[in-house]
Each structure stands twice: as C-alpha cells, then as structure tokens.
C-alpha cells in the first residue's frame, strides 16, 4: 500500500497509476479513491500519471478525530503533491473533492497547478442562507447527520439511489454500483462521515474560486439531486476567471460512474486542449 504521513501524524493512502503528466483526483463524501477508478484507468492507459488519495477518515487512510474540515483536507492534498514532488498537475475534484481542490488553490496557490476540473462540485456554498437564498436548507444536512448516527449503513444504501439517479422512473439500476457505494461509505469512519457534512455544506468557497488562475472545467448534470446545478456550477461559472462549463442533460450526481464514457472524453479533451 502506498501511503505517506501528514504533519499531524495522519496516514494517507493513495493509488498511483501510469506515467506522464500527473492528474490528481479528489473524491466525494463518503467515498474513496476507488470512486475515480474508471477515469484513472482510462487516462493512465493514454499516457497520464493518475493519482487518487483516500481523504483522511475515508477509505484506507487513518481515521483521526481531528481535521475533518476543508482547510485540513486541502493541506493534506498539498502534502501529497509535495511528497510526490508533482508539478504541472491537473486537479480533478468530484463533489466534496471539488471543494477540496478550490480550497487547495485558495490556500496554496496556482504554482503547481496546470488545470482544474470540478465535477458535480459543492462550490460556491451549498447551505441556504440570506446570502445564498437558492441553497439547500440546513434541515437536509441535519437529516444526514441524524442518519449517520442512527444507522449509517442504511443511510448509504438509501443515499445511493438519488446519488446515481436510480430513483428516477425507467432508470436501469446497477445493484453492483449501489453495493460499491455502500462499501466505500462503510470504510469511512463515523467521525469523518459526520463532521464532513458540515465541511462540504457550510464552507463558503467563493473567495477560493476567485483565486483560481488556471484553465478550469466545470462538469455537472442537470439532474443532480445531491448538489443542484443552479446553486453550484451555474454560480461558480460566474466567479472563476478562465472557465468552461459543460452541462450533461439527465446526468446525476454520480456521473463519473453512470456517464463515465462522456466524463472520460470530456477530461481527455480538456487536458489535451
């Protein structure tokens, strides 16, 4: 197992496939690096070095009580980049991972970054407030917290349906994909599962988005039930300077799996542009 240890003693696991320009993937909650296996295999087969870590508290990484916030997630990502001596990196973040990428650039700058891709990503900020009237009500996130504490195993099974759009009439459901989601979710620690909800829902990433200076691609499905496009990608597209927005009709939150061929093609085209 490839791991490194952060300054606060947390062991971070990562996959490192292929050779070439580095592409670093930041996964969503409550998943792991395995959520990006389709993109990593596709791009590694085409001459790129694909690296994806399990965020602290998730997957095969250590499960500390502390540090389940976007500042620490971003700092862990920075330590991974330094540990592997990476430069000219293409950063790809899905959902919470998109927030991690934005906060990483906001805190650590653009120097090592070549491009950024935010997929179904949480920025600018998810929770509804006076400043963000189109956001998701706090009650929704409170219910997630209740579900984590009451029976997170059942929560992951239930959440997999809207995550992949499998609750839509006529949609072909993959029980294998649902089981993979459940397995990855159960590998996350209880503290990380709980505290990360506040991190991805209440962290305002507007100022971080303003600091992104590299070419940036926003990918989002217009049928995303987890991070609705109107309060995420459509707003981020107005903030990031050098940005391209591509909306996939009918695509759900978990589009990296359900629409992997389209996502893979979009990534390759953007990286090679």
Q: Are 83 and 17 in contact (CB under 8 A)?
A: no
Please spell the DSSP secondary structure of 62-121, one letter per residue.
---SS--SHHHHHHHHHHHHHHTT--SEEEEEETHHHHHHHHHHHHH-STTEEEEEEES-
Q: Are 138 and 128 in contact (CB under 8 A)?
A: yes
User: Could you list the active site residues?
Assistant: 95, 224, 253
Question: Rounded to whole angstroms, how far apart are CA atoms 231 and 135?
Answer: 6
Q: Are 39 and 264 in contact (CB under 8 A)?
A: yes
Q: Vertex 100, ends 153 and 253: CA angle to 5°?
A: 50
Question: Rounded to whole angstroms, how far apart are CA atoms 96 and 163?
Answer: 13
Q: Strand 48-53 and strand 89-94: pairing?
A: unpaired
Q: Are 49 and 22 in contact (CB under 8 A)?
A: yes
Q: 């029976």: which residue's tokens? A: 151
Q: Are 224 and 252 in contact (CB under 8 A)?
A: yes
Task: Spell out the alpha helix ranges (H) of 14-92.
Answer: 37-44, 70-83
Tell me how far the alpha carbon of residue 204 is from its chain's centroid. Answer: 16
């Amino acid at each position: 197992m490839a791991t490194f240890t952060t300054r606060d003693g947390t062991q971070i696991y990562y996959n490192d496939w292929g050779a070439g320009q580095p592409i670093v993937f930041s996964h969503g909650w409550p998943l792991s690096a395995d959520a990006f296996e389709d993109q990593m295999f596709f791009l590694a087969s085409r001459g790129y070095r694909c690296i994806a870590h399990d965020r602290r508290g998730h997957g095969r990484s250590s499960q500390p009580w502390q540090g389940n916030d976007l500042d620490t997630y971003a700092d862990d990502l920075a330590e991974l980049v330094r540990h592997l001596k990476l430069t000219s990196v293409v950063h790809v973040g899905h959902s919470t991972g998109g927030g991690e990428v934005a906060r990483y650039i906001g805190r650590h700058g653009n120097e090592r970054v070549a491009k950024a891709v935010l997929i179904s990503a949480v920025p600018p900020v998810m929770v509804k407030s006076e400043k963000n009237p189109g956001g998701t009500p706090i009650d929704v996130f409170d219910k997630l917290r209740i579900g984590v504490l009451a029976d997170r195993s059942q929560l992951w099974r239930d959440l997999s349906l809207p995550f992949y759009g499998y609750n839509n009439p006529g949609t072909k459901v993959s029980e294998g994909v649902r089981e993979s989601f459940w397995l990855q979710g159960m590998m996350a620690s209880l503290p990380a599962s709980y505290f990360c909800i506040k991190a991805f829902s209440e962290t305002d990433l507007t100022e971080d988005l303003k600091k992104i200076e590299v070419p940036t691609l926003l990918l989002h499905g217009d049928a995303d039930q987890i991070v609705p496009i109107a309060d995420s990608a459509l707003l981020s597209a107005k903030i990031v300077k050098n940005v391209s927005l591509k909306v996939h009709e009918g695509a759900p939150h978990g589009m990296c799996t359900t629409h992997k061929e389209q996502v893979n093609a979009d990534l390759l085209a953007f990286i090679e542009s």
